Amino acid sequence: MVVAPKTARVNGIGLSYEDAGSGPLVVMVMGTGSPGRVWKAHQQPALVKAGYRVVTFDNRGIAPSSECAEGFSLADMVADTAALIEYLGAGPAAVVGTSLGARITQELTLTRPDLVRCAVLLATYGRNGPMQEAISTGERALIDQGITLPDSYHAAITAHLNLSPHTLADDTNARDWLDIIEFSGQDRSPGVRAQLQLHAGEADRLSAYRAITRPSLVVGFADDRTLPPHLAKEVADAIPGAQYGEVAKAGHYGYLEQPDEVNRLVIEFLKRTIT
């Protein structure tokens, strides 16, 4: 079934979202530079089938949501998610985020626990290490200096940083992923650049997360080079009572590489948590 996108006017901007299924509300928050439709490859259909109402959306910075090219803060993105849940009028919601989307989810769970029934945090982090700082600085510099990598090289670097060596060891899989990434192009829009700015000098938030009170599931991906699983484990250790699971043979795109295992972990957690 094709679900037509809608636009919610919330928090002073327009957020493009899709609403599918029925049952308890699950809101899904995507990571840096990616549209909400990425969830539709595997997670959204599985959650709808499992009996949930699933809302995916494009974060500010990702068209057709407002790009806000003048810049914005993480707090703005947290407020966007909160306002969307309020707009839907079906909260509190189970909130699922990956990467930057998980960071947004953590902050939302901390500041607006009234809107969050439980949280699922994929490939997350509470602080940046030296490698994360270096990669983030380099990504911003490429855009600011007007440097465009050759498409094939950009695809190779993206695959290397975000996919498991087990995925790339199969030549057919590797070629397919390289083709997908190259076809997707290099998004250098002002909105994406504004999202990348959020990673400049990010604060260590691990101690703050000790005040989170909502049930939380943290999932690390064993072969994640972008945000290694020890960073996710730190978040799980910080949140009181949080559960931790780790998915083997999965990189930063683990929800695409190992969707069955990711979906199993998420759905089992939701079934245990939402009564």
Locate the domains of the chain by residue range.
Answer: 6-129+204-273
Q: What pLDDT score does 185 carry?
A: 86
Tens digits of residue pLDDT in 48-103: 999 999 999 999 999 999 999 999 999 999 999 999 999 999 989 999 999 999 99
- Reply yes or no on whether 99 is catalytic: yes
Structure tokens at 176: 């397919």
Counting Cα atoms < 13 Å in the Cβ hemisphere of 251 gives 16
pLDDT at 3 over 90: no
**Dihedral sign, Cα of residue 47, residue 44, residue 239, residue 73:** negative
pLDDT at 275 over 80: no
Contact 25, 51 (CB under 8 A): no
Report d(CA 92, CA 81) in Å as an integer: 12
pLDDT at 171 over 90: yes
DSSP output for 19-79? EE--SSEEEEE--TT--GGGGGGTHHHHHHHTT-EEEEEPPTTSTTS---TT---HHHHHH
Residue whose C-alpha is closest to residue 57's, from 115, 2, 101: 101
pLDDT at 1 over 70: no
Q: What pLDDT score does 75 carry?
A: 96
Q: Which residue has the higher pLDDT, 5 or 270?
A: 270
Residue whose C-alpha is closest to residue 91's, from 24, 44, 33: 24
- Reply yes or no on whether 65 is catalytic: no
Tens digits of residue pLDDT in 189-234: 999 999 999 998 889 999 999 999 999 999 999 999 999 999 999 9
Strand pairing of 25-29 and 13-20?
unpaired
- Decide: helix, strand or coil at residue 122: strand
Q: What pLDDT score does 151 carry?
A: 94
Question: Looking at residue 150, what DSSP letter applies?
Answer: -
pLDDT at 22 over 80: yes
Of these residues, 19, 80, 223, 224, which one is catalytic? 224
Beta strand residue intervals within the chain, DSSP E = 6-10, 13-20, 25-29, 53-57, 93-98, 116-122, 216-221, 243-247
Share of the chain above pLDDT 70, in %: 99
Report d(CA 40, CA 212) in Å as an integer: 29
Report d(CA 7, CA 171) in Å as an integer: 41
Q: How many angstroms from the chain centroid is the CA of residue 174? A: 23
pLDDT band at 187 (very low <50, low <70, confident <90, very high): confident
Contact 236, 244 (CB under 8 A): yes
What is the pLDDT averaged over residues 145-171? 95
Q: What pLDDT score does 2 carry?
A: 60
- Reply yes or no on whether 151 is catalytic: no
Share of the chain above pLDDT 90, in %: 93
CATH of 6-129+204-273, one of 3.40.50.300, 3.30.43.10, 3.40.50.1820, 3.90.550.10: 3.40.50.1820
Q: What pLDDT score does 4 carry?
A: 76
Task: Note the pTM of the prediction, 2 decimals.
Answer: 0.95
Of these residues, 99, 136, 164, 216, which one is catalytic? 99
Q: In sequence order, what are the residues at sequence separation of 6 or more whose Cβ sits closer than 8 angstroms to the Cβ of residue 12? A: none
Report d(CA 122, CA 245) in Å as an integer: 10
Q: What pLDDT score does 178 carry?
A: 97
Interhelix angle 74-88/100-111, rounded to 10 degrees, is 70
